[in-house]
Amino acid sequence: MFRKSSLLVAAISFVLLFGSVAFAKKAYVNGIDANYPPFAYIDANGKPAGFDVDSLDWIANKMGFTVEHKAMEWSTIVQSVVSKKIDMVYSGMSITEERAKQVNFSDPYWKVAQVIIAKKGSGLSVEKAFKGGMKLGVQSGTSEADMLQNQIGKDGNNYELKYYDSAPLAIMDILNGRVPTAAMDIAPAEDAIKHGKDIEIVGEFGEPEFFGIAVRKEDKELLETINKGLKMLMADPYWEELKAKHLKDGAH
Amino acid sequence: MQQQLSVILEALPYILEGAGVSLAIVVFAMALGLLMGIPMAVGLVYGHPILRRLIGLYVWFFRGVPILVLMFLFYFGIFDALGLDLNAISAVSIVLGLTSAAYQSQIFRGAIQSLPQGQLKAARALGMSDMQGIISIILPQALRLSIPGWSNEYSIILKDSALAYVVGAMDIFTRTHFVASRTYEHLALFINAGVLYFIITLVGVKLLLALEKKVRIPGYTM
């Protein structure tokens, strides 16, 4: 009994000693959509990876904080920031007015076109996808889902939205022939094409969006830190490396 | 085929870690359900009418609301309001445990009511208090009779644990989805997940069956 308790005391003091060292740096939790390659996904070793994950790791290293990437369900991710389950979202998040009511965004770091995809050789177009009375796949909780929902019935738009949990699932359903077209950011579409999936981008729609990092309204200091780090990153050669590593030809 | 197999093999360690998470959720939920379910069943059978009413209300609520709704309600609402900062796994375990308590109370209630009525009277005649009679005469028999229903509950909770995905607990299903998003091998990976759930269900139910045989009272048949 005595031996057990002394072990426990030793263990606790060990944790206190080394825990305090670890807590010298500020530790933040970043929520990611791990179903959003190439910006954020889980790699073959079961570790978070991707363009955004690498970016934030670099910024954290430069700005002297530690960060843990936590895979979250995308449709509730803003809620998770607000209710302090995570501290930020650095994961291909489009800056939108709607979201900006609940969180603050960093400076934009990426411009992303929104595209319509279809099976290769389908002969479909953006026009047909919007006005042909067909089903249109989209990921729930995304900016494009909101926008498309509001556009139904305006200027001859008559599509029926079918919601998916992730862009890859919408892509799978196009391949299965369940939906003729789907709307998404260009990045996951290009990623699928890179993986040899039989889809094509039939055209862009809407205004291009900008990705930014979301933090809680009251976390002014964190936002400043991130903006500073982001500026440094985009001026660093590593930024080009990241593009080459994760994105098709690094094309912007 | 080659391609799919290599994806599965590569991802297996990562997904099996998720099996640990799924099992932990199930074990905790079953235990919480048991700890709450037994007193609730006793209350339902022997309790004061008001107590019975309250327990009935609890059961009605947790049986009537979809688990998915409960998970959102607790994870993004009630736990926050109570000032509890629970991670996804704990939150899911508690929600499934509270739900399971409602179902388990019904399993135990059925078992208690299937026992001959006179037993508690006989216990009283031996000078036992009601509580003593319930604890030492009624429950030992009722719990044995509950094992089949309980193994059913095990497989139901295990499958419901896949809903943990909506709050981002890293269970089998969540991890499977992540790997599928990176590799685009959805079909193979979801089949693999199905097989894993099947194996875990089978092993658990077999263990409970063995337990049922082990604790059977010789010569006692219902």
Instruction: Give residue-wise pLDDT tens across range B151-208.
Output: 999 999 999 999 998 888 899 999 999 999 999 999 999 999 999 999 999 999 999 9
Say yes or no for a CB contact (<8 Å) between A70 and B13: no
In total, the C-beta contacts within 8 angstroms joining chain A to chain B are 61
Axis crossing angle, helix A237-246 with helix A51-63, rounded to the nearest 10? 160
Mean pLDDT of A198-210: 95
Say yes or no for a CB contact (<8 Å) between B167 and A165: no
Q: In this structure, what are the phi and psi dihedrals at residue B4, rounded to the nearest 5 degrees?
A: -60, -45
Residue A1 predicted with pLDDT over 80: no
Pick from A34, A35, A73: CB nearest B167: A73
How does residue A250 score in pLDDT terms, banded at 50, 70 and 90? very low
Question: How many Å lie between the alpha carbon of A153 and the closest alpha carbon of chain B?
Answer: 31
Share of chain B above pLDDT 90, in %: 83
Question: How many Å lie between the alpha carbon of B96 and the closest alpha carbon of chain A?
Answer: 19
The predicted structure's pLDDT at residue B220: 67
Using an 8 Å CB-CB cutoff, list chain A residues near B178.
34-35, 41-42, 71
Q: What is the pTM of this model?
A: 0.84
More confident site: B35 or B1: B35
Residue A73 predicted with pLDDT over 70: yes
How does residue B63 score in pLDDT terms, banded at 50, 70 and 90? very high
Among the residue ranges A214-218, B58-62, B143-147, B163-167, the one predicted with the least confidence is B163-167
Say yes or no for a CB contact (<8 Å) between B182 and A165: no
Which chain A residue lies closest to B170 (C-alpha atoms)?
Answer: A71
Quick: pLDDT tens for B108-160: 999 999 999 889 999 999 999 999 999 999 999 999 999 999 999 999 999 99
The predicted structure's pLDDT at residue B87: 86
Say yes or no for a CB contact (<8 Å) between A35 and B181: yes
